[in-house]
Structure 1
Amino acid sequence: MSESALYVVATPIGNLQDMSQRAVEVLKNAEVIAAEDTRHSARLMAHFNINTRLISVHDHNERQRIDSILDLLRAGNSVALISDAGTPLISDPGFVVVRAVREAGFKVVPVPGCAAFVAALSAAGLPSDRFAFEGFPPAKRNARQQYYQEQSSESRTLIFYESPHRVLESLKDMSDAMGADRQVVVARELTKTFETIHSAPLAELIDWMAADHNQQKGEFVLLVHGKPKPEAGVVDNNVEHVLDVLLAELPVKQASALASKITGVKKNLLYKLALEKADS
């Protein structure tokens, strides 16, 4: 590493054999490693015989560390940024530091590797052409229920992280908001000894997890099949309800036109359905 730069280095999420040779070399040659938890990362460094000095950069001190990191870069040194596991900034600290380093005109170099949600998506068997990574849902139940309700109509595959002490209640809230038949994949303890990837409709998934307390332990990725888009020519129950309400007050033509504006469904399709309702 001839030029000073901030290297954003991915580390294993469980299996240490997933550590890349490039990541090891970057960490060995950096002046300093900025780690989320220096005690946790010290074990990883010892395994790979990396003796670089560690400093802590976490949620509570990230802004305070910026000046010292910039001073190191100005002096021509390189700094490596790591989290406890996986890729930094993915539901982990680091965004504030990366932004400050870029704004100061220094290079930021990604050293890619593990990310739990990418690993889970690759093995889940859910549509992966379009997806939304949402990180952790709200911890409080009322906020979480509202949050899942807001996400319930999303057609992309949804990906969440969840903690072990909340995962079962979180799945129950998800079922209430999205329906008991929504297909969900639980990916637990990825790359570790007790790795589990289990797919089922939410009702079955909740019973499966409740029956085995061991399945409520570890690191979780929850992957949710997006809401299927209605088939062409098919009007779902919510749209039909809007049309029925408007037909009770307006002529067929006006009701179908207004229902189209409200729901986004084609006017001709709603007009045809309104005529059928008027004739029945």
Structure 2
Amino acid sequence: MSVLIVIPARYASTRYPAKPLALLTGASGTARSLIERSWRAACEVQGVDKVVVATDDDRIKDAAEAFGAEVVMTSVDCANGTERCAEAHAVLGGGYDIVVNLQGDAPLTPHWFVESLVQGLQGDPNAGIATPVLRCDGAALNGLLADRKAGRVGGTTAVFAADHAAMYFSKEVVPFTSKTYEDTDATPVFHHVGVYAYRPDALAAYPSWKVGPLEQLEGLEQLRFMENSHKVLCVEVEAKGRQFWELNNPEDVPKIEAMMAEMGLA
């Protein structure tokens, strides 16, 4: 099956303007932009036919082309990364069996997360979209809870059924647990990893659907599939010793840089 990875990137982020061009310094002391690090992560994924950056901003286009990425220009009217991926796939002429949305704020995404995601979607013909979930250890859960206590959105959590069909995604920490966890404890909370794999027909239909109340309240694009009765498959992935965090707020920069230093990522 042919696989396209699209990295949607926009300049005018509400929470963090110019976020794709924010610099992250790795263990070697080299500073690279967030969009470059996300592109490098995408290029490590096996079994992919093409990787492109999709943007509506010339500043991101110029920066991406400077480090060697292929860029697809998309409309300023795209409401989220899924809509931008749908447009990018159409601009490229379509024809891919699976389109992966590797959001441009997740430079620590290990290649096996995406490989497992594609395999999961290939194995479930009833799912039009799949997304990875990672069981939180105590340290990750405590980080999510600390962000919420401080009024920040530090990540998204997911709950799913026995067949791994998503039941809900939230920027709150769900399910509720009153237990105190040590850093290395396994918890009942799953961190939603901001990557998606779509079948082309589900992706093409997405922009035509109205934004539902849950998507509007949570600001989570994947809820539009669920509000239109489309199965979202949650694929559980393993960290294998790698730390994972998304860059949602300026305060996340030193956190991610510390993780990169600890893992020896240049």
TM-score by length of 1: 0.28
**Counting strand residues as a fraction of each chain, which structure ranks higher?**
2
Structure of higher CA gyration radius: 1
When you count helix as a share of all residues, which structure comes out higher?
1
Q: Normalized against structure 2, the TM-score is what?
A: 0.29
